[in-house]
Amino acid sequence: MSSTQVLRPFSISQPAGARAELVKYMTLSR
């Protein structure tokens, strides 16, 4: 999944922010 590759570098830059974004992305995906 390309989404994981894109979130990978983002999480390294902002672990806390990436977590919130991931939760939002997952919620919006559903």
Q: What is the pLDDT, as a whole number, of residue 19?
A: 79
Two structure tokens written together for 11: 């999480």
- Give CA–CA dist 29/13, Å, rounded: 23
pLDDT tens-place string over residues 1-30: 566 666 666 556 666 777 788 888 888 876
Say how many C-beta atoms besides its own lie within 10 A of residue 21's C-beta. Answer: 14
* Angle (deg, nearest 10), helices 2-13 and 15-29: 150
Q: What is the pLDDT, as a whole number, of residue 4?
A: 64
19, 12 in Cβ contact below 8 A? no
How many domains in the chain?
A: 1
- Give CA–CA dist 30/14, Å, rounded: 24
Q: State the residue range of the domain holding 30.
A: 1-30
